[in-house]
Amino acid sequence: MSRIPVLRGTWAVLLALAMTAAARGDAPPSIFQAVTGKPAKTAELSTEELQKVLADGRTLVLDTRPFGEFAVSHIPGALNVAAKPGVTASMYVSDVAEIGRLVEGDKARPLVLYCNGPFCGKSNRLAEELLAAGHTDVRRYQLGIPVWRALGGVAVTEAEGLKYIAANDRTAVFVDIREPADFSAGSLPGARSIPRSLVLEAKDTGEVRKAKDDGRLPMEDHNTRLIVLGKDTTAARFVAEALAREAFHNVSYFPGTFEEARAALSQ
């Protein structure tokens, strides 16, 4: 695994990796193998390692941010627990007791923590409290959700997050991937249609590129929040990943049906 200094921005990380590898005479490692290298009591995972952990399913991945941030967007497969009682916003940390209940007292259960990137202290604070409580297998994805997104990862937006976004982010774009026949009962106001059936393969995104040219997607700002809604979670994630491969780096999907999403927004 490559150790690199903490730098701002994905391109800066790439440059640091290349310079380190060149100094050693090695071939440069992939950016997916990068970690921050910040000194800490717990080990870091690279993005590549986190992807393997998520695919394996045996490790508990915890989003260590407040529930509101988790609900707006979190890494697929991650869980969230309540805050430690009495903490301030600036020194937020999750409740170790809640995690103990979540793992049913198994302090050897592998845990991976993440938060808001290299300069976020939440995951490290929680890691130290977990070690002090006797947990023996604690690691961090210190690059966090910003780098996860920058490297093409999509996120999940829960029902509570949908309501927050609808009320507070007027630039957000909802992408309805149902088929045109499903629109007889209506969609969401202003939603953009990109039918799942026309997105044939995640790596062959002709329909997504067409949507970039005809105004359905926000070409003036690729940081615009895109939330994908579909008939089911699998279809929504598929199209979200296709959007991420077209350089949109703030993409999430709703983990349920379109009807469930609309019901949440109507509350």
Pair of tokens at residue 59 = 């490790």
Could you read off the pLDDT of 164-182 as tens digits, one per residue? 999 999 999 999 999 988 8
**Fold classified for 155-266:** Oxidized Rhodanese; domain 1 (3.40.250)
- As annotated, the residues of the chain forming the CATH 3.40.250.10 domain(s) are 2-150, 155-266
Give the mean pLDDT of 40-59: 96
Q: pLDDT-based confidence at 2, cuts 50/70/90? A: very low
At the second CATH level, the architecture of 2-150 is: 3-Layer(aba) Sandwich (3.40)
Nearest to 158 by CA among 69, 84, 251, 64: 69
199: Cβ–Cβ under 8 A, 6 or more apart, which residues?
Answer: 177, 205, 207, 208, 238, 239, 242
CA distance linking residue 207 with residue 194, whole number of Å:
7
Measured torsion, CA atoms of residues 208, 210, 213, 218, in degrees rounded to the nearest 10: -20
Q: Is the pLDDT of residue 33 over 80?
A: yes
Torsion 63-223-232-254 (CA) sign? positive
Does this model's pTM top 0.85? My answer is yes
